[in-house]
Structure 1
Amino acid sequence: MSKTALIFWGGWEGHTPERSAGVVRDILVNQGYDVRLEPGTAALADPQIAQLDLIVPVITMSTIEKEELKNLVAAVAGGTGLAGFHGTMCDSFRNEPDYQFMTGGQWVAHPGNIIDYRIDITKPDDPIVSGIGSFGYRSEQYYMHVDPTNEVLATTTFTGEHLDFIDGVVMPVVWKRRYGKGRVFYSALGHTADEFDVPQMRTIVERGLLWATRS
């Protein structure tokens, strides 16, 4: 029986939400998933989302109705997987601490905007990042508020070039966690859909999607 997934997308257009959602859809379809692609948050109003195997938010700086958020949190707590990337998962709903508690982090800054920086793999034996190794990357270097219970798989280290007071800060980039019975995966990489052309980024997201899916 096929795994079932819901991708909901929207919000700030700078993150190419529709295109990025389409890339994720194609990844999951190629893995044999039955995928629903829905604009906005309305699909979350149905409590039956708790029967899904995976939910992927691709939405930034948006709002969500209380009942929609309640259903989403309950679904993940009950065993539905949650996976996503960049601001389309960890800057989706700035006014919703319940959502941020579930995801394990919230974006707060990207000093210097689009810059060159390095991703360091911290758990090379984990299947999500196995065989990838550290790599250079060009995008927004996300500074985030993160949950100490996250299992961090990759980090980046800030220099003082753009903000002197964060020189040397080691920041999580990729993590996985549990929320109730659900698995949660996040990667800070993926400012636009074009970044899926970077093999390491795409592989990490694809493996994270599969890992988070209800087993």
Structure 2
Amino acid sequence: MQQEALIVWGGWSGHEPEQGARVVEGMLKEAGFKVYVENTTEAFADPAIQDMSLIVPIYTMSKIEKEEVAMLTKAVEGGVGLAGWHGGMGDAFREAVDYQFMVGGQWVAHPGNIIDYRVDVTRPYDPIMRGVQSFPYHSEQYYMHVDPSNEVLATTRFSGEHAWWIDGVVMPVVWKRKHGKGRVFYSSLGHVASEFDVPEMRTIFQRGMLWAARRPEEQGETARAAETVPAA
């Protein structure tokens, strides 16, 4: 059974959502996925998303309708994987707390805007991070409100140069988590699409997507379980 992925892009153009969608589409096709690309949140309301292996939202600073977020969270709770990066997933729908609960965090600031900082790998033996060393990075350093249940794979430390009161704060950069039966992966790296040219950033995100995606055998188990549920 071929794995299927849905990419939904839109929102603030400064994060280059369409360009990012093209990059991720290529990565997923290379991995053997059948990929669908949409540019409206209406795609999240389609019950067919429950049959996907993976959903990648790329939709900064936008609104999502109640029925859209309800179907999206239901799909992930049922086993569909969710993976995203930067504001495309971590600052997508500020008023949708159910969505933020699923993601495991929400952007609140990037002191200094585009700056040099360091990404520290905290779980070097995790399959997503294996072989990736801590590395310097040039982008927005995201300050986020995060869920303590996240399994943090990489962090960054704030210097206090641009906001003295957060000097020394260690902030998660990459994490994975479960939401119901679904696996959720997030990386705060990637302000613009060209950052996928950074080998560490690209490798981490590609592996994170593949980790989050529902496996074909799991999809079969879900379908068989659904068949045993009596009709109402």
For 2:97, the equivalent position in structure 1 comes to 97
TM-score, with structure 2 as normaliser: 0.92
SS of 1:21's equivalent in the other structure is: helix
TM-score, with structure 1 as normaliser: 0.99
For 2:202, the equivalent position in structure 1 comes to 202
SS of 1:174's equivalent in the other structure is: strand
Query: Over alpha carbons, which structure has the higher Rg?
Result: 2
Post-superposition offset of 1:65: 1.0
For 1:14, the equivalent position in structure 2 comes to 14
> Is 1:153 aligned to residue 148 of structure 2?
no
> Is 1:139 aligned to residue 142 of structure 2?
no
Q: Which runs of 5+ in 2 are unaligned?
A: 216-232
For 1:190, the equivalent position in structure 2 comes to 190
For 1:35, the equivalent position in structure 2 comes to 35
- State the AA in 2 paired with 1:146: V
Within 1, Cα distance between the matches of 2:108 and 2:160?
17
Post-superposition offset of 1:127: 0.6
- State the AA in 2 paired with 1:141: Q
Task: Give identity over the alignment, percent.
Answer: 66
For 1:113, the equivalent position in structure 2 comes to 113
Post-superposition offset of 1:45: 1.5
Aligned residues: 215
Give the alignment of 1:36-51 within 5 angstroms.
36-51=36-51
Post-superposition offset of 1:163: 0.4
SS of 1:132's equivalent in the other structure is: coil
Post-superposition offset of 1:152: 0.1
Within 1, Cα distance between the matches of 2:13 and 2:86?
14
Q: Cα deviations across residues 48-71 of structure 1 (Å, max 9, x unaligned)?
A: 211100000011001111111100
For 2:214, the equivalent position in structure 1 comes to 214
- State the AA in 1 paired with 2:169: V
- State the AA in 1 paired with 2:37: L
SS of 1:118's equivalent in the other structure is: strand
Stretches of 4+ aligned residues off by more than 3 angstroms: none
Q: Cα deviations across residues 33-55 of structure 1 (Å, max 9, x unaligned)?
A: 00000002111121121110000
Post-superposition offset of 1:111: 0.1
- State the AA in 2 paired with 1:207: R
